Amino acid sequence: MAINKNSNIYQIVYAAVMVVIVGALLAGIYMALKPQQDLNKANDKRKQILSAIHVQGLSDAEVEGTFKKYITEGFMVDEQGNKVEGQSLDAAFDVDMKKNLKSDKRQLPVFVAEVDGEKKYIVPVYGAGLWGPIWGYVAVNNDGESIYGAYFSHEGETPGLGAEIEKPEFQKQFNEKKIYMDGEFKSIGVMKAGQKPTNGAEYVNAISGGTITSRGVQTMLEDCLKPYDPFFVKLQGGNGDKADTCHAKADDCDKNDDCDKKKCDNQPDKAKAEPAACGMPDPEAANN
Amino acid sequence: MALFSKRNKEAFFNPLSKDNPVLVQILGICSTLAVTAKLEPAIVMGISVICVLALSNVIISLIRKTIPTTIRIIVQLVVVAALVIIVQQVLVAYSYDVSKQLSVFIGLIITNCILMGRLEAFALNNGPWASFLDGIGNGLGYTIILVIVAFFRELLGSGTLLGFQVIPQWCYDHGYMNNGLMILPPMALITVACIIWVHRSRNKDLQESSN
């Protein structure tokens, strides 16, 4: 019996059967490999977080133990820089930065690491490079104003150019750089040789040939560290309700708690408005 | 039917030089430019292409008598796409670092014209074993070129090989500098062209007559 291979029915049935078989096969493989893949992703994230405090070169087997050893605590902070109660390390760890930046109510995870008896505060950053997303982790010293270490990675930046942001040579430039100048949040500039940030911030050298990625790193740091401003100010020993004007006025009131609160009432709104900008390239910068 | 008949040997060895997919057929140039800035991704990319090409050749060859001719391209695409996704998933599960490095390039295997070309030109008309050899041969032919190009680009562009520094420090001290242009795609094209030039000058029968 010869089947007419070019009849419509044969073609439709053939295509349908093929799609079902392939679909089932892929679904099966996905299910079978999922646990291992999730484990890899979690371990990779742990490695990245540890890289921010200069713990590197770990094998897959060591990662989890080392992570537990260094990272003592994880929590969210709210827009006033206060620790949100009832959030565990796992909750902070599970925050998906990509979704987080798009959502209206941004979560601000912080990981606390202990290095040589000193606390370091690690915060995640996420932004846009040239070809795709870039992200990283920035560890801030417990003085709340200088960077202890930074780690960056990317999805598909050009090898040898933009992709250099994941190299230690680039990342170690950030060590001990200050994100605050005279008590004001300035972030860190990523500048071409011979240029300086206009706002007087500290800066590192950009990657030659990787201009857009470098600019992406600068924007990412600016946007993603800013929401933590109140939290950092608290670390510096200031009062958590932050805002420079508020800060100064509050000091005048001496130990009067009520005064403190009243003066800063309008601040939370301001803080709320800022996080939304994170991750979105600054429209002005894009036009240049 | 001998396993290594003359025909099968040709299917395997021709693509390595005389009928090289990159040098002679000028296929797969896009990915050759994209993944050769460093040696390691080039090697992994080559291995992935060999696997996908050999397997898809075998599968298409096995079902070649049932495929309706009008939708054969779609069937080929589905098979290749499924295999590529499997390779990607396996890499994520068992070789996470490599999968991170290659990121989008694995997905781009689907668009590599060598695959569709071999399926159309060979697997549809030949048995599974010959198709398998043809797939391995073409994959290897592609990989060899990838590795040669990546070797020069990484050496001259970054001064490293497989991430290890090979150009000694005293060269830099005496004014030697890495050539940043080597890392950019245009130099991949020029490197490939140089290889083609050398290849043609050694194989007179490949040279086109000038009239």
Q: What is the mean pLDDT of chain B?
A: 86
Helix axes A60-70, A8-52, angle to 10 degrees: 50
> How far apart (Å, rounded) are the C-alpha atoms in residues A211 and B92?
30
Segment B71-94, tens digit of pLDDT: 888 999 999 999 999 988 888 888
Distance, CA of A263 to CA of A249 (rounded, Å)? 7
Q: Where are the beta strands (DSSP E) in chain A?
A: 71-77, 108-115, 118-128, 133-141, 147-154, 180-181, 184-185, 188-191, 202-205
Disruptive mutation site among B80, B88, B92, B153 for chain A (greatest number of A CBs within 10 Å): B92
Q: Which helix (H) or strand (E) holds B164?
A: strand B164-165
Based on the number of CB atoms within 10 Å of its own CB, is A252 exposed (0-12), middle (13-18) or buried (19 or more)?
exposed
> For residue A77, what pLDDT is reported?
85
Which residues of chain A neighbour B71 with C-beta distances below 8 Å? 11, 14-15
Question: pLDDT tens digit string along B21-56?
Answer: 888 888 888 888 888 888 888 888 898 899 999 999
Distance CA A98, CA A94 (A): 12
pLDDT of residue B195: 92
Least Cα distance to B132 among B25, B81, B60, B46 occurs for B60
Residue B37 φ/ψ, nearest 5 degrees: -70, -25
- Separation CA A207–CA A183 (nearest Å): 29
- Please list every residue in chain A whose beta carbon sits closer than 8 Å to the beta carbon of residue B92: 33, 37, 40
pLDDT in tens, chain A (288 residues): 567 777 889 999 999 999 999 999 999 999 999 999 998 888 888 988 998 888 887 777 788 888 888 888 888 888 888 888 777 788 888 888 888 887 777 788 889 988 888 889 999 999 998 988 999 999 999 888 899 999 999 887 877 788 889 888 899 899 988 888 888 888 888 988 888 888 888 889 998 888 899 999 999 999 888 888 888 888 887 654 444 444 444 444 444 444 444 444 444 444 444 444 444 444 444 443
Say yes or no for a CB contact (<8 Å) between A159 and B41. Answer: yes
A18, A29, A60: best to mutate for the B interface, most B CBs within 10 A: A18
CA distance B72 to chain A (A): 10
B65-72's contacts with Cβ under 8 Å and 24+ in sequence apart are: B66/A5, B66/A14, B67/A5, B67/A14, B67/B124, B68/A5, B68/A6, B68/A10, B68/A11, B68/A14, B69/A5, B69/A6, B70/A6, B70/A11, B71/A11, B71/A14, B71/A15, B72/B124
Phi first, then psi, for residue A94 (nearest 5°) are -80, -5
CA–CA dist B137, A110 (Å, integer): 52
Residues B150/A128, Cβ–Cβ less than 8 Å: no
Q: List Cβ<8 Å contacts ≥24 apart for B173-177.
A: none
Would you say residue B14 lies in a domain?
A: no
Helix (H, G, I), strand (E, B) or coil at B160: strand
In a domain, B2, yes or no: no
Asked if the structure places residue B9 within a domain, the reply is no
Which chain B residues have a beta carbon less than 8 Å from that of A132?
104
- Residue B209 within any structural domain of the chain: no
The answer to whether position B165 is within a domain reads yes
| pLDDT(B20) > 80 | yes
Query: What residues of chain B, 148 to 207, have a C-beta less than 8 Å from chain A?
Result: 157-158, 180, 183-184
pLDDT at position B40 is 83
**Least confident interval from A147-151, B3-7, B100-104, B199-203:** B100-104
State whether B74 and A15 contact (CB < 8 Å): yes
Domain tally for chain B? 1
The amino acid sitting at B16 is L
Contact A18 B75 (CB under 8 A): yes
B1 band by pLDDT with thresholds 50, 70 and 90: low
| pLDDT of residue B19 exceeding 80 | yes
Q: How many residues does chain A have?
A: 288
pLDDT of residue A281: 46
A156 touches chain B (CB under 8 A): yes
- Do residue A14 and residue B67 have CB atoms under 8 angstroms apart? yes
Question: Which of B75, B96, B183 lies at the smallest CB-CB distance from A159?
Answer: B183
- Neighbouring-strand partners of residue A181: A184
